[in-house]
């Protein structure tokens, strides 16, 4: 009996050892395949990760470039030095600064008869409200209080945006430090939302967006300080070669030429 039991045990042991050897042999044959498949999988996964990272970075860069081109206009007017202007009239008894490369009439200290003071920028490359690069100029006017704002007599002017306040940098006792600024839109300007073609310092008078305006609406302003924007089809930018230039808030706040306008506005001292 003992020999029979031992024989059966030996048979089971031999079978187990044989099965183990077969499994080991099978694993040896499969191992190279497993290694190759693993390497291929790692390469594919790595490639996919690199491709995704490249596409993400490229997309982010392109997006930033597009935003920069849409928001920041270019301008040939980069002059930062200013010139002081003094008006010695009875009504236009005031002073202000303006960019030194802009032209002005009449000359400083030579306006005893209160003629309109006109300050004109050089031609500049500006992005308009329709996101197009155009040649344009800015004309600041300082008119006496008894003048008529004639440009408000046509083209159905409205307040393009609710008025905002600016700050005079060194106001005299005769002026409020924080006057309102109105943004004027004409019907012959761009139809872009919030577009405007003129700004006027309106003192303590504030308007809401969409308010209809006319030449008499701002009666009482003294002096009348405004800036008109023009698109130019010729180098002289006069007559039929001059049309309204529409801009938006982003352009007003970011373009150097309009920053210069605001700086001039804020420099006014009214005696």
Q: What is the pLDDT of residue 145?
A: 95
Computed over every residue of the chain, the mean pLDDT equals 84
Q: What is the pLDDT of residue 73?
A: 31
Q: Give the pLDDT mean for 44-68.
A: 55
Q: What is the pLDDT of residue 246?
A: 98
Residues near 214 by Cβ (< 8 Å), separated by ≥ 6? Answer: 152, 153, 157
| DSSP one-letter string for 119-158 | EEPPPEEEE-TTS-EEEEEEEEEEE-TT---GGGGSS--E
Distance separating the N- and C-terminal Cα atoms of the chain: 132
Strand order in the sheet with 93-99: 82-88, 93-99, 269-270
2-50 pLDDT, tens per residue? 455 555 555 555 555 555 665 566 556 656 666 677 767 776 776 677 6
Q: What is the pLDDT of residue 72?
A: 31
121-137 pLDDT, tens per residue? 999 999 999 999 999 99
Task: Give percent of the chain with pLDDT exceeding 70.
Answer: 74
**Which of 25-34, 71-80, 189-198, 228-237 shows the highest mean pLDDT?**
189-198
Q: Give the pLDDT mean for 139-151.
A: 96
Q: What is the pLDDT of residue 54?
A: 57
pTM, entire model: 0.71
Instruction: From 142, 141, 148, select the one nearest 92 (Cα to Cα).
Output: 142
Looking at per-residue pLDDT, the higher value among 86 and 17 belongs to 86
User: Residue 62: exposed, middle, or buried by beta-carbon count in 10 A (0-12, 13-18, 19+)?
Assistant: exposed
Q: What is the pLDDT of residue 257?
A: 97
Q: What is the pLDDT of residue 125?
A: 95
């Amino acid at each position: 009996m003992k020999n029979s039991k031992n024989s059966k045990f030996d048979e089971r042991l031999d079978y187990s050892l044989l099965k183990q050897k077969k499994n080991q042999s099978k694993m040896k044959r499969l191992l190279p395949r497993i290694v190759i498949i693993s390497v291929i999988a790692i390469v594919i996964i790595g490639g996919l990760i690199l491709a995704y990272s490249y596409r993400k970075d490229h997309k982010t860069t392109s997006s930033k470039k597009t935003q920069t081109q849409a928001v920041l206009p270019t301008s040939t007017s980069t002059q930062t030095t200013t010139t002081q202007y003094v008006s010695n009239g009875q009504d236009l008894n005031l002073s202000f600064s303006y960019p030194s490369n802009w032209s002005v009439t009449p000359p400083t200290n030579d306006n005893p008869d209160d003629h309109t003071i006109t300050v004109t920028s050089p031609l500049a490359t500006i992005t308009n409200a329709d996101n197009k690069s155009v040649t344009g100029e800015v004309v600041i006017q300082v008119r006496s209080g008894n003048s008529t704002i004639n440009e408000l007599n046509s083209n159905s002017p409205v307040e393009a945006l609710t008025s905002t306040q600016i700050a005079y940098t060194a106001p005299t006792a005769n002026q409020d430090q924080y006057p309102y600024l109105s943004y004027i839109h004409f019907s012959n300007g761009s139809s872009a939302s919030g577009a405007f073609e003129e700004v006027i310092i309106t003192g303590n008078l504030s308007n809401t967006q969409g308010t209809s305006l006319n030449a008499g609406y701002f009666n009482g302003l003294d002096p009348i300080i405004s800036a008109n924007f023009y698109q130019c089809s010729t180098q002289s930018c006069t007559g039929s070669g001059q049309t309204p230039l529409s801009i938006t808030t982003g352009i007003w706040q970011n373009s150097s030429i309009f920053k210069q306008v605001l700086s001039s506005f804020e420099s006014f001292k009214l005696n």
